[in-house]
Amino acid sequence: METYNRNATEHARLGSAVCGMDAKEMSRWVERLQAEYGDKLHNNRYQSVFRSFGMDGGDMLIGGLGRLAGMRISVSHTKITGSLDLDGAVFYTEEDMPEAGFDSIPFEAVFSLCGRLREKLKSLIDPEFYCVPFLGGIKSVMLSEEPQEIVDYYLPELALFGSGNRFRLFSAAHIPEHIPLEALPDSGKKKGFCRVKSRTECPGKAEYVQGMNHVLDELRQDTVQKVVVARRCTITPEDSFHCCDYAAHLYDRYFQEYYFMFRQGEEAMWIGISPEIIMKQQGGRAVTKPLAGTRSKSEDAAQNTKILQDLTSANKDIVEHEHALYFMVDQLKRAGIGEVKIDKNKTVLETPYAFHIKSEISMILKENVSCFDIIGAIYPPATIWGIPVDRTERLLARTEPFDRGYYSGVYGYWNYEGIADTALVIRSAKVENGAVSVYAGGGIVKFSNIDAEFDETVNKMGPLLSYFQED
């Protein structure tokens, strides 16, 4: 296809705004504008709220609507296809069709293509808009015969982004100039819960134990070193359920590092409060902070002291964490992105609901290293996938009876000024067709206890299910 020769940001506007919004208010603001301006957008199934902490300790809050331009990549056994779109139409495609095909997801090739598409898209963006965030992410998919979308990033038609009470407001030419910056009041449900019509688990305890015995056989034969197996709990709530109320509940009680609420061109809405960083970049510096090893907190302080002692001395958790940490360090060094070092090794991250073993890896980047060079070196991390990646993928395809979607994928933003921030999509729920599906996984090594691993997934689901009340 011929390269599109029009500027994607032609006649777009970028202004400053002073307003007071937190993540909950931003979510309601985006919902309000979606209702008011949805028919003016090229794709009204794209909307996002994203909050995170930057490398300098400050926060970033982004609200986005619509899709002005973007990049997509799909993958199958036989080919990788990348495309760029503008105003709802594809204007450039690139395909890779190796003669031998693929036995597993070719992550290196996927992220290399991300980098090329990112640079090609840059030529359509006026430099004054390089600060505007591109939102989107990476799905956790398994290779199949049919093409599956794995990457989707886009420039919103309307974006409010900044920190504190100082924001920038970006809007495409077809968006009205005077956008209201006042959020709708919340529903008033401060302590309320949503009642449940039905609940299903996939797999249940018996099926999980059966599957884990097969996984342990693979581990004991040393065909894989670690596997992260996920479960899903699906709630059908009563009609009073609303995404913004649910997201506010999670934010008020469990926010730690990331908050997100997004739709990526589909009906499904993803909501989460992830504690785990894939990558933060600011110019020539970047960090990643893998988590592996989890214990649920108690309401009793003395009991929490015992839980911490158990976590930091447990051989299984330490081995699981070191597998993930050193695999990530090795991958970053192999990528040749610059200087890589472990800044903090096996510290404890305390969230409102759990303790995690955490390490911090810092990077001094070579010139012209992009966010996709970094993500490509470490995704999928062993904390949510396993080691080695290709054998783990095939084992998970046989073990997990559902599609992960964005769970254990990536969501966040990047811009052309060298700033990026991406969350691992865990502690997350998918809201679709009147149902809420909550996901959680646990890292399995050869001496894992199956009952304990099952309980870990139950505990990780706890915050996401705390909004729902069963009879």
Q: What is the DSSP string of 278-296?
A: EEEEETTEEEEE-EEEEEE
DSSP state at residue 179: -
The pLDDT, as a whole number, for residue 192 is 57
Structurally, how many domains does the chain consist of? 2
- Here the tokens at position 209 are 């134990």
CA–CA distance, 161 with 175 (Å, rounded to integer): 17
Same domain as 287, residue 416: yes
Specify if 153 maps to a domain.
Answer: yes
Structural tokens at position 219: 């581990």
Looking at the structure, do residues 230 and 358 belong to the same domain, yes or no? yes
What is the pLDDT confidence band of residue 1, given thresholds at 50, 70 and 90? very low
- 183 domain residue, yes or no: no
Q: Is residue 6 part of a domain?
A: no
58-72 average pLDDT score: 95
Query: Cβ distance 49 to 23 under 8 Å?
Result: yes
Per-residue CA distances from 60 to 49, 145, 154, 156, 442 (Å): 11, 39, 18, 16, 30
Query: Does residue 184 form part of some domain?
Result: no
pTM for this model (two decimals):
0.93
Q: Give me the residue label for tokens 């012209």.
A: 368
- Residue 112 sits in the same domain as residue 219: no
Assigned domain for 187 exists: no
Within a 10 A sphere around the Cβ of 331, how many other Cβ atoms?
Answer: 17
Judge if 346 and 207 occupy the same domain. yes
Same domain (yes/no): 283, 148? no
From 118, 136, 171, give the residue that closes a domain: 171
Same structural domain for residues 233 and 303?
yes
Residues 358 and 461 in one domain: yes
Least confident of 169-178, 251-260, 311-320: 311-320
Q: What is the CA radius of gyration of the chain?
A: 22
CATH number at residue 446: 3.60.120.10
Distance CA(427)–CA(315), nearest Å, equals 25
Q: Please give the share of the chain, as a percent, with pLDDT higher than 70.
A: 96
Same domain, 97 and 218: no
Q: CA-to-CA distance for 68 and 85, rounded, in angstroms?
A: 8
Mean pLDDT computed over every residue of the chain: 90
pLDDT 10s digits, 305-337: 887 877 777 677 787 778 788 888 999 999 999
Q: In DSSP terms, which residues pair with 274 in a beta bridge?
A: none
One domain, residues 154 and 253: no
Q: What percent of the chain has pLDDT over 90?
A: 63
- Of 127, 155, 171, the one marking the end of a domain is 171
Residues 70 and 218 in one domain: no
202 and 273 in a single domain? The answer is yes
Q: How far apart are CA 60 and CA 28, in angstroms?
A: 17
- The Cα-based distances of 359 to 52, 374, 385 in angstroms read 19, 17, 18
**pLDDT band of 350, cuts 50, 70, 90:** confident
297 pLDDT more than 90 = no
In-domain check, residue 189: no
- Predicted confidence band at 446 (pLDDT cuts at 50, 70, 90)? confident
User: In this predicted model, which residue has the larger pLDDT, 249 or 305?
Assistant: 249
In a domain? residue 124? yes
Q: Domain for residue 181, yes or no? A: no
Q: How far is CA 387 from CA 162, 218, 377, 378, in A?
A: 38, 12, 14, 12
CA 407 to chain CA centroid, Å, is 7
Neighbours of 346 (CB within 10 A): 16
pLDDT confidence tier of residue 3, bands split at 50, 70 and 90: low
Name the least confident of 202-206, 217-221, 364-368, 381-385: 381-385
Structure tokens at 247: 């997201």
- How many Å apart are CA 282 and CA 268, to the nearest integer? 31
223 and 100 in a common domain: no
- Domain containing 86: what range? 13-171
**pLDDT value, residue 181:** 87
